[in-house]
Amino acid sequence: MNCPLCRGEMKHGTSHILIERGEDAVIVIIKVPAMVCEQCGDDFIDIQVTRKIEALLKKLESEGLKMGFVDYTRAA
């Protein structure tokens, strides 16, 4: 697969996602599986992973987490 931005080669890797929820909540999800461009470094996250992240965010929000780092490999 080639990167849609620069046409570089995409490889399996991981990424970090920073999510701001309103004015008082910031959550960083680390080690998220993604396709990462070897040339420009842009990353793309697959729809199944995105759905797991959405479910994870709902759970974290219901638990009252306002700020923190979450390891995707352990939480999803």
SS3 for 4? coil
Query: How would you classify residue 7: left for phi > 0, otherwise alpha for psi between -120 and 50, otherwise beta?
Result: left
Predicted model pTM: 0.86
Q: In this structure, is residue 5 part of a structural domain?
A: no
- Band of residue 23 on the pLDDT scale cut at 50, 70, 90: confident
Q: So what's the pLDDT on residue 26?
A: 95
Q: In this structure, is residue 27 part of a structural domain?
A: yes
Question: What residue type is assigned to position 31 of the chain?
Answer: K
Q: So what's the pLDDT on residue 55?
A: 96
Q: In this structure, is residue 71 part of a structural domain?
A: yes
Q: Domains in the chain: how many in total?
A: 1
Range(s) of the domain holding residue 49: 10-75
Tens digits of per-residue pLDDT, 35-66?
999 999 999 999 999 999 999 999 998 999 99
Cα 14 to the center of its chain, rounded Å? 8
SS3 for 75? helix
Q: How far apart are CA 68 and CA 1, in angstroms?
A: 33
Q: So what's the pLDDT on residue 21?
A: 85
Q: In this structure, is residue 39 part of a structural domain?
A: yes
CATH code for position 26: 3.10.20
Q: In this structure, is residue 2 part of a structural domain?
A: no
> What tokens does 52 get?
């797991």
